[in-house]
Amino acid sequence: MYIADMDEERLNAATKRLRALGAPVAAIRGEAVDTSLAILKRLEPKGLHFAFIDPYSLGALDINIFRTLSRRTRMDMLVHLSKMDLQRNLDENIGSALSAFDRFAPGWKDVIDADQAQRGIRGEIIDHWRDLVSGLGTKASTEMKLLKNSGGQHLYWLLLVAKHELAHKFWKTAANPEGQGDFFKL
């Protein structure tokens, strides 16, 4: 099991917790773009692989992470997309020459209609990101599971990025609240 984080203290804490549970952990410190490449080099090319990508913000969710990991034929990725970050920082990013979202979805300003409600803009940004991911030979699921805090505030979406349709079939079942009961409750 490979884990990575830029923050050494958090990386050490996660490593310690996982090792206490008996997990065979290899920790790599650095930015996700760099650590994804380092991890990819260590993976069995024909093995089955799963990545959980949990960035601090959308700006940290660089499309190059997906470019790197999608080079493995059998790589499924569960991705945390911060709805809160997209909502909270949308106006700032629309008005900025250099946006935090540029690493997440390069070219997003060229494909959105900025003269619409924020909800429409956010949807177009996510759709553009999905198109970029699909251009890498993989597919970002349209089944996005919204997770909320105990007060009902929207925090983030979870969605699957995978090449094989069977993975998407499993995800559709897992993301269905009727099929999984309390599976996604916080």
The pTM for the full model equals 0.87
Instruction: Tell me which residue of 42, 78, 55, 43 sits closest to 5, measured CA to CA.
Output: 55
pLDDT of residue 178: 63
Number of H helices, E strands in the chain: 9, 7
pLDDT of residue 93: 84
pLDDT of residue 161: 95
Residues of the chain with pLDDT under 70: 177-186
pLDDT of residue 127: 93
* Residue 29 near residue 5, CB atoms below 8 Å: yes
* Residue 2 near residue 24, CB atoms below 8 Å: no
pLDDT of residue 72: 93
pLDDT of residue 147: 87
pLDDT of residue 186: 41
Q: How far is CA 150 from each of CA 96, 144, 154, 172, 174, rounded to the nearest angstrom?
A: 33, 19, 10, 24, 21
- Long-range pairs for 166-171 at CB < 8 Å and ≥24 separation? 167/76, 168/139, 168/141, 168/143, 171/141, 171/143
What is the β-pairing status of strands 75-82 and 154-162? Answer: antiparallel
pLDDT of residue 179: 52
